Structure 1
Amino acid sequence: MIKEVLKIYMERGDFFHQLILEHLEISGISIIIATIIGGILGVLISEFKKTSPIILGITNFVYTIPAISLLGFLIPFSGIGNTTAIIALTIYALLPMIRNTYTGIENIDTSIIEAAKGMGSTSFEILYKVKLPLAITVILAGIRNMVVMTIALAGIASFIGAGGLGVAIYRGITTNNTAMTIAGSLLIALIALIADFLIGYGEKIIKRRWRIK
């Protein structure tokens, strides 16, 4: 089977190269949008705590919906293709981003916040210079998990006409070509591992620069 998979890579190199680029595009856009929106929502519910049960409850509920079902629900509104895949992946990616941002800020020692207030810091200065730096390790952990999850979930996007490496998996399943299915799955796993390594490396640099243990 390994020889068959390697043979497919050799013979269909251009095909897989295109799928990899599509997979990175779909995943990348979803990750960027989820990071921005999730980060903002996480900060907002930490500042306005009465909204936290509502926001977290909604995201937790959506997270329980099977991915393939969510894709199906979105088709009547956004059609088939990459747009629907990006919307669905972004929705799924929001939960770890919101939860980790909120948790990271909430776990900060209140005495540190009070000390910053006592020194005359504004709410924005406390958020930017105290809360976010102290919460960064938890936030980065959320981003790391979210990135790996999004890259993996993007593999099912082909079932609603989107691109990416899921196309190879789908073709392999429908044509009973096990080697093609494995080839697509291995590349998704490889991309996820590389992304996890790069974010982990970036996390170490940030911790070193900010002198975080």
Structure 2
Amino acid sequence: MIDASEDIVWGQFVPAREAALEHVSTESDNRWKPLAPGQPKVQMQVEVDQRLNPFVNLCLGRVPYLVAEDEGYELRQQALTDGTATAAVFAVPDQSGPERAVEVFPALPNGTVAESYPDMFVRPAATDGQPQEFRARVSIVPLPEIPDGGTWTFLARTLDGDSPVFGPVPKPEWQVEEGASWFASLSEDGRLRLHLGRPRYWPARSFTDLLRNPGSVLRKEMRPGVPDLDPDWIPFTGEH
């Protein structure tokens, strides 16, 4: 039994120590000091993988970039507007009725681009060497499951009813693990993209890379915590 009043150290991550291993100093750099004025700050997100291993994701600035894998599908001419709101978008598996429609992009009041498209994507393979960025929003839930070779239809729900905003979108012919989920993103310029799992972060390769490219994400595994039990207390190990 675990005492709820006791803390268990699952993992440890000390940015100054880890950065020093790559000869990067955080002591005099205000980007590592949350309360220091000016300059974007390094943000940290804790991630736990399916094997329960803890990691941290570090990003300079508040909006991490996501990677656009392809050019996607172009929106048809119908605007996703309904009065003063952006229409909700539903995904429907092929040969299915409206009862299997899944709301993937909720309706939103018209606002700024940043409010309507809160996620920032990047195309890393720009010809000039600089990443091209654009705003989008990622579906709030995975797309409904379909068999290999199947398609999704995306419908905008307005006061006039449901209308397709893209032609049927085929499931990509990728070799994926059983149970893998697909997500969609809708960009401000009216393009839909499919993503195997949630869109991945634009990776930074090092602490130097992290600080040089705001929006990139450096993923680091946390160091193991200190065991709470003295190994000498464990019987039957054959080591006493």
Fold-level similarity (TM above 0.5): no
- TM-score range relative to shorter protein: under 0.3
Give TM-score scaled by structure 2 length.
0.24
Larger Rg: 1 or 2?
A: 2
Greater strand proportion: 2
TM-score, normalization by structure 1: 0.26
